[in-house]
Amino acid sequence: MITRRTVLAGTAGLLAASAFNGPLGAFAQGAPTFKPEEGASLRLLRWVPFVPAEEAAFIANTQKFTEATGVQVRIDKESWEDVRPKAAVAANVGSGPDMVMSWFDDPQQYPDKLVDVTDLGTSIGAANGGWYPGLESYAKRDDKFIALPLCAIGNAVVYRDSHMKAAGFSEFPKDTAGFLELCKAMQAKGTPAGFPHGKAVGDGNNYAHWLLWSHGGKMVDESGKVVLNSPETLAAVKYAMELYKTFIPGTESWQDVNNNRAFLAGQVSLTANGVSVYYAALKDPAMKEIADDMRSTNLPIGPVGESVELHQTSTISIFRHTKYPEAAKAYLQFLFQADNMNAWIEGASAYCCQPLKAFEANPVWTSNPIHAAYAKASASLRPNGYAGPLGAASAAAMADYVLVDMFAEAVTGQSTPEDAIANAERRANRYYRI
């Protein structure tokens, strides 16, 4: 059984030698200190949780901060799709929430509207084994932290083991060619797959980027020049069209909740999702058969020859319009304390992968075999702007669903593969101006 004590044991030693205790708890020696402004109160905009215990742990940490400082923190929740536009409006109007838990490189769209948190990013990283490079790149601009990396939400294939075996496969295929054959066989057995081709912030982007990267395609090169129109992209699009033929109807309109619901309703037997879909089945006695039959694995390897995956990534930022920047920094510093961060990771039950290397030791990752595919998300993720620099262009292209729409146009027959790629190339060039 995982207890709070066992969770803390893994990282307590990292801080014990150099920590001091203040009113907000233990901080590494040399860490900046922040005194909340008189009468400070804060408002945080965050995404709606898929794992209730994750939210409960986050709220518990927030309440502890309020008890220690007297600073009230109001937490507003919005759907995954709505966080991005609401945060952009707040940044550009200069009013609204003081902080936001946003997606991918969203902070790169309005870096001048965010508080520089380099002091926090540097000290927290130094005290906890360092940030994972992929997550850190989302949070930095010109070598300065404009946000703090919060987590990677691991994305993995989830499937019904008995249905895979009934389709004639004793083990899950490791490559894209075998994966296509599995999906064909499962469709023939009436237990089809389903992946989102709709504007799903997490699952739609994760799937589209995997399709592209696994075949060696990329939106831009190292200089930021758009190179989407390539033989590799065409191969990815044609592969997606073949996979789509095996899917349940309607995936072109799926958002982030739809593949969960379809899997739990027995409409599909294979999709990609966070570990939340497993816990949704586990807590419902009527879904015990699904939970017992569920397995997870990483997405198959394509012609590129290596595992290349995009994982949902969240950062936490402070808007410059806040009246209480010291209070906001104190709050973020408190959330990243070892005991608080470990408690949150534990509460998330493998849904949120740690942003700092010190927390790899959290026993949640070995507490259940279903967690194994999600355990390395922070270490393995490739930023969505690959292979170019992250910035306003990569953030805008992601927010405009350029890749998602490219695949959707082709698989639904709205455009030929070549036209879908040309349309995406034209849209990408609006943002990447070299």
Kindly list the domain boundaries of the chain, sorted by start residue: 17-153+312-380, 156-310+400-431
Chain segment 267-284, per-residue pLDDT in tens:
999 999 999 999 999 999
Predicted pLDDT at 297: 97
Give 190's contacts (C-beta < 8 A, 6+ positions apart).
none
Mean pLDDT of 329-350: 97
Chain segment 46-96, per-residue pLDDT in tens:
999 988 999 999 999 999 999 999 999 999 999 998 999 999 999 999 999
Give 157's contacts (C-beta < 8 A, 6+ positions apart).
172, 270, 271, 272, 296, 297, 298, 299, 300, 373
Residue with tokens 């295929």: 173
Percent of the chain with pLDDT over 70: 93
The matching CATH number, chosen from 3.40.50.2000, 3.40.190.10, 3.30.470.20, 3.40.50.720, for 17-153+312-380 is 3.40.190.10
Residue 256 has pLDDT above 70, yes or no: yes
Predicted pLDDT at 50: 87
The structure's pTM equals 0.87
Predicted pLDDT at 166: 98
Confidence category of residue 137, pLDDT binned at 50, 70, 90: very high
* φ, ψ at 29 (rounded to 5°): -60, 135
Confidence category of residue 2, pLDDT binned at 50, 70, 90: very low
Share the mean pLDDT of the chain: 93
Chain segment 289-327, per-residue pLDDT in tens:
999 999 999 999 999 999 999 999 999 999 999 999 999
Burial of 133 (0-12, 13-18, 19+ CB in 10 A): exposed
Confidence category of residue 20, pLDDT binned at 50, 70, 90: very low
- Report the alpha-carbon distance of residue 94 to residue 319 in Å, rounded: 8
- Report the alpha-carbon distance of residue 352 to residue 254 in Å, rounded: 22
Predicted pLDDT at 282: 93
Residue type, 250: G
Mean pLDDT of 372-387: 94
In order, the DSSP letters of 105-123 are: TGGGGSGGGB---HHHHHH
Assess whether the region 17-153+312-380 and the region 156-310+400-431 belong to the same CATH fold. yes
Mean pLDDT of 107-124: 97
Chain segment 380-406, per-residue pLDDT in tens:
899 999 999 999 999 999 999 999 999
Predicted pLDDT at 4: 36
Beta bridge partners of 297: 157
Residue 211 has pLDDT above 70, yes or no: yes
Predicted pLDDT at 1: 36
Predicted pLDDT at 29: 56
Predicted pLDDT at 433: 87
CATH class (in words) of the domain with range 156-310+400-431: alpha beta
Confidence category of residue 23, pLDDT binned at 50, 70, 90: low
Mean pLDDT of 213-233: 98
Mean pLDDT of 345-360: 96
Give 233's contacts (C-beta < 8 A, 6+ positions apart).
212, 215, 217, 421
Predicted pLDDT at 413: 98
- Report the alpha-carbon distance of residue 314 to residue 354 in Å, rounded: 11
